[in-house]
Chain A
């Protein structure tokens, strides 16, 4: 019984985190800190920072990775699954409602015009994000070459992202070893 109550507690905590962060990733950090560190005392600030750094390096969504780590630390695999359900549930409910509404109203001229404008904003917003990621991730000319190659492969040859990502990881390992040998 207490087992079930603890799992529900995990679901509810991560449901709040999912419901109150917009955009995921970095923007969820303040909510995570308030709910898991200050309220539940599941972990301390340092551990949260460690988990957050690791979440960014691992495959998958940062928010989901955080949920798995904290949930697993609390209640092993059941806790991890509970945390993931909690953090994804708000997206699931809200987006289903919005998507259902949108497909009914998209034929209205004003709605279509609004989205034509919104698409312009989205293009500009993604450029801004790419600029930030570029500043952080592309710091020397070798990294710049990898950036350009990936850009061209995707843009001109429409290649799947998977071989690009695997190739870049292998290139990173090889270049790193060459630098150590020197």
Chain B
């Protein structure tokens, strides 16, 4: 039954997550709330692993979340659910490819949809900051600040904006800092 549930939840993600990898995040965040399959802090670990390993981000996330929930079978059904809508929808759209893009209704729908997707991912970003920098989230909205994590964040953020290096680079640095400073 857990396989069927994983398949169904990831099928919904495959249908509604538009704009690639990161847009699966709000859905996964919702899943951790709804089923408790993984904690929010495990979700952040998944993002890190998915960003540091080859392959499409969404497929990495599905494999990781599925494995975390129900082992290798879970990974399989999560991925199957995720890619099936793509196969069906894209093949249908391929039949009338030119008309789809030119349709003004389709264009307007995407015009409204894009900022909403950014808003949803921004909400996840706020939660990720909570998880990374604050300890004891349950005691109030933000809990207590972890000073070492806050300093690392304050240094990291401008570096990312200035140097625009590959995510793996920053993840590796943060891992070393984490070990050295005993975060």
Contact = CB atoms under 8 A, between A and B. Distances in A.
Interface of A: 18-25, 28, 53-65, 68-69, 72-73, 77, 80-81, 84, 87-88, 90-92, 94-96, 98-100, 102, 109-110, 113-131, 133-134, 136-138, 143-144, 146-151, 154-155, 158, 160-162, 164-173, 175-177, 180
A118 to B, nearest CB: 4
A162 B50 CA distance: 23
Contact of B179 (A20, A117, A160): A117
Interface residues of B, number: 105
Contacts, number: 379
Contacts of B177: 117
Interface of B: 12, 14-22, 24-27, 30, 33, 41, 44-45, 47-60, 63-64, 67-68, 72, 75-76, 79, 82-83, 85-87, 89-91, 93-94, 97, 100-101, 104-129, 131-133, 149, 152-153, 156-157, 160-161, 166-168, 170-171, 173-179, 181-183
Contacts of A164: 116, 119-120
Nearest to A95: B63
A99 B55 contact: no
Given A19-B54, A65-B86, A95-B49, A126 B152 contact: no
Contact of B174 (A24, A69, A121, A133): A121
15 contacts: A24-B55, A25-B21, A54-B100, A60-B85, A91-B54, A94-B54, A98-B49, A113-B179, A121-B167, A124-B160, A130-B122, A136-B114, A149-B116, A170-B109, A180-B104
Contacts of A102: 45, 49
